[in-house]
């Protein structure tokens, strides 16, 4: 489905997913500014919670990739934060989840794809990386290439399908029973499913990068 265009900047259309993407980016930037102004050696309060979250992501990344995976921790943390907020913002009345738009999820999946291959080139070298597309036999190149493309598509569509499908279901149920079912459904699809899909997308990002560099 085509996203709703809210207004134009000159001739550039600003759609609902794009607007809320900008809102999330601004909110994260402002939050990072205020939350990192007075960092303490002994964390407490919000700083303690943030460090626990960062350490949790680091443990997941290093657990899959090994010590060399530490360099990817900021990237994975950024992906998890953006996807999580994008999924959850749809619960707010009048807001739209950017991940309901295939363009957003496809861009994220392509970003992970490119980072993985660039990291593989840096680690292995260009020719060994290129040779991997022709292994174990030369004629396997089309199949290996199709596998890489399908990986991006499945990564993008899994997140998009679950978030978009949940929003459609909530809308249908709301029309049928507006005063009975919307609240538990919002709690389920909007919050719980949003968290689950964030975890799935983030873990897949870690796995896809790990496969390419090993």
Rounded to whole angstroms, how far apart are CA atoms 39 and 94?
35
The structure tokens 């363009």 sit at: 103
pLDDT along the chain (214 residues), means of 10: 81 89 94 82 77 87 86 93 92 86 94 94 91 85 91 93 81 66 65 90 93 87
Angle between helices 193-213 and 141-176 (to 10 degrees): 170
Q: Which two tokens stand for residue 114?
A: 């490119």
Question: Is the preceding omega at residue 136 within 30 degrees of 0, hence cis?
Answer: yes
* Predicted pLDDT of residue 183: 62
Residue-level pLDDT at 73: 92
**Burial grade of 163 (CB within 10 A; 0-12, 13-18, 19 or more):** buried
Q: To which H or E segment does residue 1 belong?
A: none
Residue-level pLDDT at 92: 80
**Distance (Å, whole) CA 51 – CA 210:** 24
* Residue 99 near residue 161, CB atoms below 8 Å: no
pLDDT at 169: 73
- Give Cα 121 distance to the centre of its chain: 23
Phi, psi of 23 (to 5 degrees): -65, -45
């Amino acid at each position: 489905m085509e996203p709703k265009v809210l207004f134009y900047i000159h001739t550039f259309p600003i759609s609902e997913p794009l607007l809320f993407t900008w809102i999330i980016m601004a909110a994260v930037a402002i939050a990072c500014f205020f939350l990192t102004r007075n960092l303490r050696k002994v964390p407490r309060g919000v700083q303690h919670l943030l460090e626990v979250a960062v350490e949790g992501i680091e443990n997941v990344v290093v657990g899959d990739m090994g010590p060399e995976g530490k360099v990817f921790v900021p990237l994975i943390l950024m992906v998890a934060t953006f996807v999580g907020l994008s999924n959850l913002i749809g619960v707010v009345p009048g807001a739209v989840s950017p991940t309901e738009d295939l363009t957003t999820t496809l861009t994220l999946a392509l970003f992970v794809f490119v980072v993985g291959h660039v990291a593989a080139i840096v680690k292995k070298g260009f020719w060994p990386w290129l040779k991997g597309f022709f292994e174990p036999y030369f004629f396997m190149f089309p199949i290996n290439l199709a596998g890489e493309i399908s990986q991006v598509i499945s990564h993008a569509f899994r997140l998009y399908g679950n978030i978009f499908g949940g929003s459609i279901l909530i809308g249908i149920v709301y029309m049928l029973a507006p005063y009975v079912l919307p609240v538990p459904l919002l709690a389920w699809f909007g919050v719980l499913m949003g968290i689950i899909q964030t975890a799935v997308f983030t873990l897949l990002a870690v796995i896809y990068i790990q496969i390419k560099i090993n």
